[in-house]
Amino acid sequence: GESVGLHLPTLSVQEGDNSIINCAYSNSASDYFIWYKQESGKGPQFIIDIRSNMDKRQGQRVTVLLNKTVKHLSLQIAATQPGDSAVYFCAENPYSSASKIIFGSGTRLSIRP
């Protein structure tokens, strides 16, 4: 099956600071790029997406940046809270028909009190 990034790096952030989680993707033809959050023992939860013709999109406390030149996606979380502790996955719809969601590498976000 398709999957990218099978070992999870960890990002440790002080509570209240901003977090930046990065992801590299390979398929330039993807129509959408997406971020999901997975808390321990739960299924992933949608956070935000961005269409390939955009370079920035903001949500509540989150911002996603897309750099197509270097095939890089990032998720910025403002004023990180303990509830933000989770594994964050980037994902993409790899084809213009956007039929399936392929998950990329995950990053574990740990919050220091």
Partner 1 sequence: GAGVSQSPSNKVTEKGKDVELRCDPISGHTALYWYRQRLGQGLEFLIYFQGNSAPDKSGLPSDRFSAERTGESVSTLTIQRTQQEDSAVYLCASSLHEGNTEAFFGQGTRLTVV
Residues that bind partner 1 in the complex, under the rule CB under 8 A:
1-8, 32, 34, 41-46, 49, 89, 93, 97-106
How many helices and strands, by DSSP H and E, does the chain display?
A: 0, 9
28: CB partners within 8 A, 6+ apart: 68, 71
Question: Measured from the CB of residue 97, what is the shortest distance to partner 1 in angstroms?
Answer: 7
Our CB check for partner 1 shows the closer of 42 and 113 to be: 42
Question: Measured from the CB of residue 19, what is the shortest distance to partner 1 in angstroms?
Answer: 19
Question: Measured from the CB of residue 76, what is the shortest distance to partner 1 in angstroms?
Answer: 19
Question: What's the CA gap between 3 and 71, in Å, rounded?
Answer: 17
- How many CA atoms, within 13 angstroms, populate the side-chain half-sphere of residue 73? 30
Handedness of CA 70, 72, 78, 80 (dihedral sign): negative
Our CB check for partner 1 shows the closer of 79 and 100 to be: 100
Our CB check for partner 1 shows the closer of 19 and 106 to be: 106
Question: Measured from the CB of residue 108, what is the shortest distance to partner 1 in angstroms?
Answer: 9
